[in-house]
Amino acid sequence: MRKRVGFTSLLLFILLFSIFGYRSLMEHRETRIMMLKNAMIQNTPEEQKKEVTAFKPQEPDATENKEKTNKNDGTKNKDEADFNNNQKARIEEKEREVQEKLIEYDTKYVGLGDSLTVGIGDAEEKGYIGMVKDGIERKDNIVIDLKNYADRGDRTTQLMKILKKEKVQQSVRDADVIFLTIGGNDLMKVARDHFLSLDQKYFDEERITYQKRLEKILLTIRTLNPDCDIYYIGLFNPFLKYFENVVEIDAILQHWNEGSKQVIERFPNVYFVPVYPLFNQVDEDLFFKDNFHPNAKGYHLIANQVLAEMEKHKDEETSSD
């Protein structure tokens, strides 16, 4: 019975320790000591009261005080660093704004979407959109203003929110060309949400919802800017190297690409850039070390495909004139 009581007490102590922490327990201990001290004074002869009154709880350890000081200093330093970084970011933003006013750009590009437009996986952090910009600047001897609002991991739901920001809307209004990659993370979310019971029906259901969101995105862009060219870069299969014989993945990706095409065809001057065939070679080293995003070589292939599509539609416009 005594062992049982002792074990229960130990569990109770661990529970209290986990809830209140060591310091709270020590504070409780000191309070109890003070109460005992007062009780002793009240019931102690006068000649002994002075000795009892002299009793004091143990002062906090110097190491503990030092740790508190270091913690406070660390918090203070972090706050100062955050403040300095914010100040630096604001100064750099102002410098960019001044620079943009001084430079006369010949044309303006805007990037929207996910990590492919960010350029994740490219050591130079340009991605396909930076390579397209560099290629056209060299070829046409012009200066291009590129504003990239893409963000890693973004799905159509996040992009719809980004397009509500005034700064982004103004850039879209001013854009001559917009580049868009979106949908890959929508598809991956289906895989995560139904990991234990993957079925093609889940991908088909989400594809329909995705198409509706893509339509809203393009409608928003077209409302802000009725005339700019929009290039939507299609999905590719990053899993081919490891799941070459899994035809279901291929079928799902192809269905999603077809769904995107169906939406795009409803809007003027919106062009689908097919990149799926570019990554269909298993022996090609086209991926970053995460085996998901393209490396510089993979982005070069996408950039060349985009440039070819741009040249194609430029020729079509010239011939129609």
Is the domain of 141 the same as that of 272? yes
- At 125, give phi and psi (nearest 5°): 60, 30
**For position 260, which CATH number holds?**
3.40.50.1110
Is the domain of 150 the same as that of 279? yes
Is the domain of 146 the same as that of 267? yes
pLDDT digits over 234-285, tens only? Answer: 999 887 765 565 668 888 999 999 999 999 999 999 999 999 999 887 557 8
Q: Does any domain span residue 2?
A: no
Is the domain of 92 the same as that of 145? no
Q: Does any domain span residue 4?
A: no
Entry pTM: 0.69
- At 262, give phi and psi (nearest 5°): -60, -40
* pLDDT score of 22 more than 50: no
pLDDT digits over 200-245, tens only? Answer: 889 999 999 999 999 999 999 999 999 999 999 999 988 776 556 5
Is the domain of 245 the same as that of 273? yes
Is the domain of 169 the same as that of 192? yes
Is the domain of 161 the same as that of 305? yes
Is the domain of 32 the same as that of 160? no
Q: Which of 29-33, 61-65, 78-82, 116-120 has the highest mean pLDDT?
A: 116-120
Is the domain of 193 the same as that of 218? yes
Looking at the DSSP assignment, which residues form a beta bridge with residue 178? 110, 230
Q: Which of 175, 260, 156 is nearest to 221 (CA)?
A: 175
Q: Does any domain span residue 136?
A: yes
Identify whether the C-beta of residue 154 lies closer than 8 Å to the C-beta of residue 117: no
pLDDT digits over 64-105, tens only? Answer: 555 656 666 666 677 777 777 777 777 776 666 656 556 778
Range of the domain at 73: 66-102
Is the domain of 123 the same as that of 53? no
Is the domain of 97 the same as that of 246? no
Which 3 state secondary structure label does DSSP give 309? helix
Q: What is the mean pLDDT of the chain?
A: 80
| Distance between CA atoms of residues 133 and 136, nearest Å | 5
Number of domains forming the structure of the chain: 3
* pLDDT score of 168 more than 80: yes
What pLDDT shows up at residue 89?
A: 73
Is the domain of 198 the same as that of 284? yes
Q: Does any domain span residue 1?
A: no
What pLDDT shows up at residue 158?
A: 98
What pLDDT shows up at residue 76?
A: 66
Lowest mean pLDDT among 14-18, 24-28, 202-206, 284-288: 14-18
